[in-house]
Amino acid sequence: MGYRSEVDIVFYVPNDSETAYGLLKLWFDENYPHAEAKDEWCATIQYDEENLAILVSYQDVKWYDSYEHPQAVEKAFEDIDTLLDHQHLTAVAQGLTPVKEDNPDITPFNVAWEFVRLGEEDNDTEMRMSANADYVIAVNRSTEISFTPRKTT
């Protein structure tokens, strides 16, 4: 069966923006390996317009760095970080508004991402996020006690 993990990823707009969520959806549809995620990895993908987010959830998967799909997901993280860096949008990430008169090509595309992988073992938790993340994914390990009903004769 192999070692299994639960993986949750969220891409989101950290603060209100008229255009950022639309741009995020366009970027996600073009760059995230969502067809493979849903078809081959049985992921659920949810567009959450109320919270300006896209949620990706994988259950009971073998998430190894050497596998093609986790590598493609990692590339998506690198690509969006590079996009933000190359567009000189670090000012937006720091809460500053770029002066559009100085550079009309700058578009406020303030987005963030977070990644959490929970392995089978209690101490196997991996968390990573973009520089401007708001820590929207919380990790809770919990226990539950349940008894099987006893048969009475």
What digits encode the pLDDT tens for the residues 47-68?
999 999 999 999 999 999 999 9
Average pLDDT over residues 10-23: 85
CA atoms of 103 and 86, how far apart (whole Å): 14
Nearest residue to 139 via CA among 1, 3, 5: 5
Q: What is the reported pLDDT for 1?
A: 54
Find all residues with CB under 8 Å of 98, minimum gap 6, and list them: 88, 89, 91, 92, 106, 108
Q: Which residue has the higher pLDDT, 32 or 2?
A: 32
Domain ranges of the chain: 5-129
Cβ count near 48 (within 10 Å): 12
Nearest residue to 42 via CA among 25, 24, 59, 22: 59
Q: Evaluate if residue 70 carries a pLDDT over 70.
A: yes
Find all residues with CB under 8 Å of 99, minimum gap 6, and list them: none
Percent of the chain with pLDDT over 90: 57
Q: Which two tokens stand for residue 33?
A: 């390996």
Q: Please check whether residue 43 is in contact with residue 57, taking contact to mean a CB–CB distance below 8 angstroms.
A: yes
Q: What is the reported pLDDT for 90?
A: 45
Q: Which residue has the higher pLDDT, 78 or 143?
A: 78
Full-prediction pTM beyond 0.85?
no
Q: Please check whether residue 54 is in contact with residue 28, taking contact to mean a CB–CB distance below 8 angstroms.
A: yes
- Give me the residue label for tokens 């994988």: 58
CA atoms of 44 and 58, how far apart (whole Å): 7
Q: Which residue has the higher pLDDT, 67 or 14?
A: 67
What digits encode the pLDDT tens for the residues 85-133?
766 544 444 455 544 445 554 555 788 999 999 999 988 999 999 988 9
